[in-house]
Amino acid sequence: MTIPSLAANAYQNTARLTGQGNGAQSLGGGLSGALGGDAGSSSFGDMVQDAVQGVVDQGRAADTKTVDMMNGKANVVDVVTAVSETEVALQTMVSVRDKVIAAYEEIMRMSI
């Protein structure tokens, strides 16, 4: 897989995790729906928890494929793809975490 397709897959997973569509929707539409429209459907904490659980599930799937490859039941390409997708998902989560921390720090610096 190329880097653009990995990024597209990460955006698709993010859209799926937020419940904004099946990946056919543009990123801008997913963000506007998450920020403006569906405030009562789920909280930010629920969204973060679902995203973290998705990353954990991807990691477990990659581990399972790795074990299957060692047992001769999986292809090396499938394992490398699963590990790469998990790495991109984890990097995305770390980026989101950093942005949330930066936003929190900025809010704490505001005077009342």
- Residue 91 is predicted with a pLDDT of 94
Q: What is the pLDDT of residues 26-59, one digit of tens each?
A: 434 444 344 444 545 678 888 888 888 999 999 9
pLDDT of residue 18: 60
pLDDT computed for residue 23 by the predictor: 40
83: left (phi over 0), alpha (psi -120 to 50) or beta: alpha
In the chain, domain spans = 43-112
